[in-house]
């Protein structure tokens, strides 16, 4: 399952922290953030069906904006 989100993550340091936290907490297959995209796109790949709301809330609890992209 692939989930895509718009974020406000700006730095490489923040990107690494968010990715590491997501992978550690959700056991994801893959996770990336495109800092060059205007929407700072977070892409999550999981082998398990997941509720995107959980990912959004988790990133928000880390202090960042996160909204689902259709």
As for how many domains the chain has, the answer is 1
pLDDT at 50: 77
Domain with 17 in it: 2-68
Query: What is the distance between the alpha carbons of residues 43 and 5, in angstroms, rounded to a whole number?
Result: 7
Dihedral of the alpha carbons of 36, 62, 13, 11, in degrees to the nearest 10: 30
CATH number of the domain bearing residue 61? 3.30.70.100
pLDDT at 51: 83
Task: Name the token pair of 23.
Answer: 């992978």
pLDDT in tens, the chain (70 residues): 899 999 999 999 999 999 999 999 998 989 999 999 999 999 999 888 878 999 999 999 999 999 999 7
pLDDT at 34: 98
Taking the complete model, does pTM exceed 0.95, yes or no? no
């Amino acid at each position: 399952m692939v989930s895509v989100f718009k974020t406000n993550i700006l730095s490489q340091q923040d990107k690494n922290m968010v990715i590491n936290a997501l992978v550690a907490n959700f056991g994801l297959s893959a996770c990336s953030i495109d800092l060059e995209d205007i929407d700072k796109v977070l892409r999550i790949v999981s082998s398990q069906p997941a509720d995107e709301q959980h990912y959004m809330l988790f990133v928000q609890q880390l202090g960042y904006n996160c909204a689902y992209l259709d």
